[in-house]
Structure 1
């Protein structure tokens, strides 16, 4: 108390009229007791001695724990090392809460690390990424790759997929080549644009689109006509020939009718090409009670779905091949339509489903009534 109040022994002795020897002895005894020693002339009881011993051991343990914390922080700066140590301590019956408290990490972080370790390793996504990219004929971007990986049970965000694709050098193949295939300079009757860009009908067999494109082969040009059901974007009819007569588009429509059996009132949209304005094609539409619709002059957007299919076909298959003859091209293009485009290719407008899967899902939700062909 004398030292804490800043008083000297001599001042205390004068104020209390006592000798300095006794005051100095009291000060020494007080300091000794504060340091955990018995003091002068007053031995500690066994209980006091035990308390003093426990206090000393407690101070020593605190120092040891502080050294351990600093050592782990310096030698194992990564949290993963602390989590591994906690796992090891669990085998020695040390609670997670105690280990986390000693090592200075949160229990939530420890359990989150264990959850990530148990989940599919994201770095392995690169293997599945390459396989899915090759299966898509090098056409899928990051958005479709996220959906494709999800279908394979791999959870990865778009930015992660984009980074992995960039690291692996996976880039969709885009080549633009065009040739004029539409002959609209004719005197044949032109139908009105009945479809009016209504590309999302509520049911199948309500609206079809049709168009013609070309394919380069070693034996010359091969022309392809397709018919697409707008409900599911499924190619329901196609025909190929080395020339572009009206029979080409009639054969594609005939295949669609045989496969789908649409009823009267079906809208069949196309461009203003001479094949679609021909009497042969118009007679076929009329015989089934179909409604003819044609794009406005020079407006490719009125038939954007068919144009997009041709771009996908060429980007994902045709431009990656060198066809020796027409027969080879016909086999490969038919395999693309049936084996990939209709059955496997993911369409963003369909919620990243293929046309066939989309139709099955919609049929399961609501029965689809299809009129009989007459």
Structure 2
């Protein structure tokens, strides 16, 4: 595994990080913790970007009004998201509606929930007094946890295996079969994978590399094989293109870039982000694998690989399986986030993709190939195992 170094962040990363605070309602401390950066750094980025956007012409009253409006937007978004949790319950039997009211009585007034869910308040109180068997009570507790997990925009994609692991992490003793039955009985379903569509333009005059990787994705340490690819996301303003670089050992996205145009600068910026975050060990061979698209075969990209002493490998023509790990990540991104949203603008996509990669996928999502821990947790455990033999240099 390569030595750790002081991390540097691109302006694109900083801008999207600040939007978690200014547009998505996260506190500064929570956003910093989710992204693995210091609160002081995030505060400095926010101050700089906000000052640039607002300019010197804005009066103090206008700044106060803007802050008030932002707080109101944040509050309304929270109310909207909370009310969405009851979606579909009007079609369920009364017991399930009563269970929802009981589970959320601290969040909303009981009278309001009874009105929204079309049940009588005295009927709810009578249901509470009747009590339940120990088994039913146990299932009710589990179901409450499962609904909370499934209501989250990130873990809503979980099927019974990951839902089971999430419950075990919360110190619940339950079998996967029980979790699967409860999910089935209460219509808690995992997201479906989107269909694959080829986008690679391999008709270009640039030379292409051999398929050196040959699908050998399993590695014994980090920074040995990086895979890269481009995907696109539809918005009301047109397409937004996303380029990513992923470490096959960590299953971690450590480089990404987004642009309205699919150019060589898009993939170069993604690779530079990864090189800024981690510096591979110069004594160990590093292989970069991508498709044979014109962006990856371009002179600028190949020159950057040579400067960093990184070997190049490319998929065979028309064979998406040669880059299956990167395709798998894009499939997860589409089914777990993109296909669940309707994006009017490109900035909305940027904020959503940034949140998915940096806050959820790298730091929270349980990965089956990593023993159901996140890539960040897996990397931290790998570093701990090397500490007696390898001096560790963490980010400042």
Alignment match of 2:357 (pick from 337, 359, 364): 337
Distance 1:275 1:179 in 2: 18
Asked if residue 132 in structure 1 is aligned to residue 133 in structure 2, the reply is: no
State the structure with more CA Rg: 1
Distance 1:178 1:278 in 2: 25
TM-score normalised by length of structure 1: 0.65
Specify the alignment match of 2:235 in structure 1. 217
CA deviation vs aligned residue, 1:182-228 (integer Å, no higher than 9, x gap): 00122211111121212121111111100000011110000000000
Say if 1:250 and 1:163 are closer, same or farther in 2 by CA, change over 3 A: same
SS at match of 1:236: strand
Identify which of structures 1 and 2 has the higher relative contact order when contacts are C-alpha pairs closer than 8 Å and 6+ apart: 2
Specify the alignment match of 1:253 in structure 2. 271
By how many angstroms is 1:158 displaced?
Answer: 1.2
Say if 1:369 and 1:262 are closer, same or farther in 2 by CA, change over 3 A: farther
Say if 1:139 and 1:294 are closer, same or farther in 2 by CA, change over 3 A: same
Specify the alignment match of 1:276 in structure 2. 296
Q: How many residues of Structure 1 are paired with residues of Structure 2 in the alignment?
A: 256
TM-score normalised by length of structure 2: 0.62
Distance 1:259 1:138 in 2: 30
Distance 1:271 1:362 in 2: 29
CA deviation vs aligned residue, 1:217-257 (integer Å, no higher than 9, x gap): 11000000000011110100000011111111110000000
8 A contact 1:209–1:230 mirrored in 2:
yes
By how many angstroms is 1:310 displaced?
Answer: 0.4
Q: CA RMSD in A?
A: 2.2
8 A contact 1:122–1:155 mirrored in 2:
no
8 A contact 1:249–1:281 mirrored in 2:
yes
Distance 2:179 2:193 in 1: 23
By how many angstroms is 1:124 displaced?
Answer: 1.2
Specify the alignment match of 1:288 in structure 2. 308
Runs of 4+ aligned structure 1 residues displaced above 6 Å come to none
What residue ranges of structure 2 are gaps of 5+ in the alignment? 1-132
What residue ranges of structure 1 are gaps of 5+ in the alignment? 1-115
Distance 1:252 1:177 in 2: 25
8 A contact 2:232–2:239 mirrored in 1:
yes
Specify the alignment match of 2:107 in structure 1. none
Specify the alignment match of 2:203 in structure 1. 185
Distance 1:177 1:206 in 2: 30
By how many angstroms is 1:290 displaced?
Answer: 0.2
